[in-house]
Structure 1
Amino acid sequence: MFEEYSKRNRAIQAALELAAEGGWKAVTFAAIADRTGLSLSDLRRDFIWKTDLLSAFQSEVDAEVLAKAKPPGAAQQSPRDRVFDMIMTRFEVMSPYKPALRRISSALCCHPAQAAQLMPSSIASQYWMLAGAGAKLDPGTGLRVAGLASIYAKVFRVWLDDDSPGLDRTMAALDRRLKVGEEWLSRVESTCASLCRFACGCMPRGWKRRDARDTTAEQAPPGSASENPAGA
């Protein structure tokens, strides 16, 4: 990752190195400038808050995972299996930075305001994971993205503590939660469809025809046949 060694990427890497060494509190723009030789002016062009460094890291991870992903039609996989592969690839991409992410995650648990600043980029990341998996992105997308974001947040914590070579605990947790999430989403979508059918069935019959006649009457010129059916 970080093949394009731009000023932005140098800053992100420095932030991760500082976090691995001294925790999230050690990550300051002054420390990043000192480590990279960049000026504060350079850093201000790409970042506003310290958490913007993490949002930028998420964006780089998204791009790397999408570059590694197989086209959705390349293999006969279920949607859940494709999402599973995308998330596991994400963990693979982030593995060199696990020590830093472990310390950052621990610190952000004590700073909910900073954690909340990451919510938009975290949601966006899961949208792109669904897109890379070839999932349907329709009016129900928001529900799917929110569900996957919740699943990912829980499995991410498992991954942070999973030091086994095969990430067995992580894979088991992800598979279990994706299965439960898929079943829950299916029930929700079925319930919504039933409610829509019920609402349509409760509408007065013929309301469209009455509206059409009313509109025609309003638009008819004075003295026309629609206003005076007898033609008098």
Structure 2
Amino acid sequence: MNEFDADTEFDRQVQTLLSKGYSTLADQSGLRFRELLEPLRKPVLERASTMTAPTEDRVPFVLVVTRALVPIEESVPLTTLAGKQKPGVIERYYKPGELDQFVALKSLSLPDEAVYVVFDVDRGEEFCGVVPLDAMAAVAARHRTGLTMEEGIALLTHFPASLAKNKCYSLSGTRLGEKDKRVPALWISKGAPKLGWCWEGNPHSWLGLASAGSRAGAVSAVTSP
């Protein structure tokens, strides 16, 4: 018997977004914001029988609010580490305006909606110490895809314990063009989350690579490749 209650978890994540002020940042009333998210309940409940309770390293689903509604510069400061209060920060090595140029890979074919749900999210701690390019290849071989910036921020927002000392994660679903060698990542700096980037050929013992099994919007579903 599956003891995980996906319906209750859906409500918790909606409330988390509201309590952090996402509706205000999206210039919407709380009611309108709830109505925007509510259609995502259907694809979540359709998969509920296959879900297991979330752990620090793997969660069944995450509600994602894209930069179309809330800019990354505003969503990152809403993140915290588990049991901490210091707001997340953005690495200063991102040049002014450069975050807008880091976009989701077209190969992900993300739902064309301002909010959607990502399923079977793994922070990828097994890839700590692995060259990011090699980790990406391993993830692809499993018919999974790397998380985008917004998906990584959402994971941290709903599950703060997912980001821990020596268990941080790259977000390879977002890149700046085919020739740029930087891979966005979330790690810990001075007791707070930090959105930064690392080189795709440089391994770090504390940095894995997060991935997802599939995604769905209110009117569309995107499975793994």
For Structure 1 versus Structure 2, the TM-score category normalised by the shorter chain is under 0.3
Higher helix share: 1
Question: Relative contact order (C-alpha < 8 Å, sep 6+): which is higher?
Answer: 2
Higher strand share: 2
Q: Structure 1-normalised TM-score?
A: 0.27
